[in-house]
């Protein structure tokens, strides 16, 4: 009888603990799920990371092209190669559904007017390839207009498909 009561009490306590644990875990699982980035959020993060690499490498090129930094042929070639390389990856940053990710400044028109977006992206790829080729010559006179043209390709697409900074 005593043992039986004890067992019952223990069972109840164990059951209560288990229930508490489940509620706790359930709550934790719920809050993790609520805070977890969506696939769209992650796609936006990846996209923005690529553009951060683009900007980080284009900045010294822009400075050299504008005469704000001395022309350094080796540096120009290194940065231009990177910009040209990453420009060929950017398309992967705009899969269907990634129009809705957290913090994006990409306009919905990218997904509704894809042909125009693709055209501007191809122009960027062409201009950055030309910039890399110009930088490779080591000739500042060839580098400067090529950098200006690549910067213009960036800006043309931003003006059309990116919301204001
Ligand atoms: C940059 C940068 C851009 C482009 C653009 C070129 O360095 O961050 O978005 O160049 O300003 O016109």
Per-residue model confidence as pLDDT tens digits over 40-59:
999 999 999 999 999 999 99
Instruction: Indicate which atom in ligand 1 lies nearest the CA of residue 61.
Output: 7
- Mean predicted confidence (pLDDT) in 1-28: 39
> Which residue has the CA at smallest separation from atom 11 of ligand 1?
155
Which pLDDT score is estimated for 61?
98
Q: How far is the CA of 85 from the centre of ligand 1 (A)?
A: 16
Q: How far is the CA of 154 from the centre of ligand 1 (A)?
A: 6
Which pLDDT score is estimated for 32?
57
Pocket residues: Cβ below 6 A from ligand 1: 55, 58-59, 62, 151, 154-155, 158
State pLDDT tens for residues 89-109. Answer: 999 999 999 999 999 999 999
Which pLDDT score is estimated for 35?
81
Which pLDDT score is estimated for 70?
98
User: What are the domain boundaries of the chain?
Assistant: 1-36, 38-161
Q: How confident is the model at residue 33 (pLDDT cuts 50, 70, 90)?
A: low
- Mean predicted confidence (pLDDT) in 55-72: 98
**48, 49, 52, 55: residue to mutate for ligand 1 pocket, most atoms within 8 A of CB:** 55
pLDDT at 165 > cutoff 90: no
CATH number of 38-161: 1.20.120.10
> Which residue has the CA at smallest separation from atom 8 of ligand 1?
55
Beta carbons within 10 angstroms of residue 23's beta carbon:
10
């Amino acid at each position: 009888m005593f043992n039986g009561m004890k067992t019952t009490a223990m069972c109840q306590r164990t059951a209560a603990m288990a229930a508490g644990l489940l509620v706790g875990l359930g709550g934790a699982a719920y809050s993790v799920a609520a805070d977890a980035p969506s696939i769209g959020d992650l796609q936006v993060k990846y996209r923005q990371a690529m553009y951060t690499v683009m900007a980080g490498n284009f900045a010294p090129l822009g400075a050299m092209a504008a005469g704000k930094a001395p022309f350094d042929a080796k540096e120009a070639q290194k940065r231009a190669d990177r910009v040209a390389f990453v420009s060929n990856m950017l398309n992967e940053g705009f899969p269907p559904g990634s129009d809705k990710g957290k913090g994006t400044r990409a306009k919905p028109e990218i997904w509704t007017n894809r042909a125009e977006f693709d055209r501007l992206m191809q122009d960027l790829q062409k201009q950055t390839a030309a910039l890399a080729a110009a930088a490779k010559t080591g000739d500042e006179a060839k580098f400067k207009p090529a950098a200006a043209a690549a910067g213009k390709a960036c800006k043309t697409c931003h003006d059309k498909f990116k919301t204001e900074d």
